[in-house]
Structure 1
Amino acid sequence: MDALKHLIDTDTIQVEVTIRLGRTRQTVSQLSALRPDDVLVLDQAIEDGVEICIGDKVIARGELTGDGGTEDRLCVRVVAASGTP
């Protein structure tokens, strides 16, 4: 990876990172009937954490956390890397 840094300025390359919480299947009718305070049940438990992805590739696993600052923001703590992206 260090050899690549000499060829490409990786400090300026930006990629979109997606955090996947889980999945569920709904019909169009069910989705159109959603109202405030409805709950969608996902296919994984809270303790399963989240997947950190670039495109469709999972690059790490994480857990949801707050930022601990003055703003109440949702954050992800990396708990395991999936190798080199």
Structure 2
Amino acid sequence: MDQASIIATEQIPVEVTIRIGRRRMTVAEIAALRESDVIPLEQTLAEQVELCVGDHVIATAELVAGEDEEAPLMLRISDAKGAEAG
């Protein structure tokens, strides 16, 4: 692959999804969901989250809170799969 192709490829935007937890639910439970319902997850706040592109996990990270309630959540990367994932 030539240098121009590599540079062009690096500029392609991709959507990254952060998976914070999983929960098995029946179709009836999903259909019954209403605003303000709380769904407990198996994971705790101390556990790692997964950064994914499509179905591929590209890194794990920990959630980091800002200084106050209005600050956005952030991620601190713990293990980046990067080029190794290929």
Q: Name the % identity.
A: 44
TM-superposed CA distance for 1:19, in Å, is: 0.4
Q: Which runs of 5+ in 2 are unaligned?
A: none
Runs of 4+ in 1 over 4 A off after TM superposition: none
The one-letter amino acid of 2:62's match is E
**Cα-to-partner distance string for 1:1-36 (whole Å, 9 max, x where unaligned):** xxx682421442111111011111111221222233
Distance 1:54-1:44 versus aligned 2 partners, 3 A rule: same
CA distance in 1, matches of 2:30, 2:14: 30
- What does residue 37 of structure 2 align with? 38
Q: Within 2, Cα distance between the matches of 1:35 and 1:76?
A: 29
Output the TM-score relative to the length of structure 1.
0.72
In structure 1, runs of 5+ residues without a counterpart are none
* Structure 1 residue 68: Cα displacement: 4.5
Matched, 1:49 2:48: yes
CA distance in 2, matches of 1:58, 1:28: 27
Alignment TM-score, normalising by the size of structure 2: 0.72
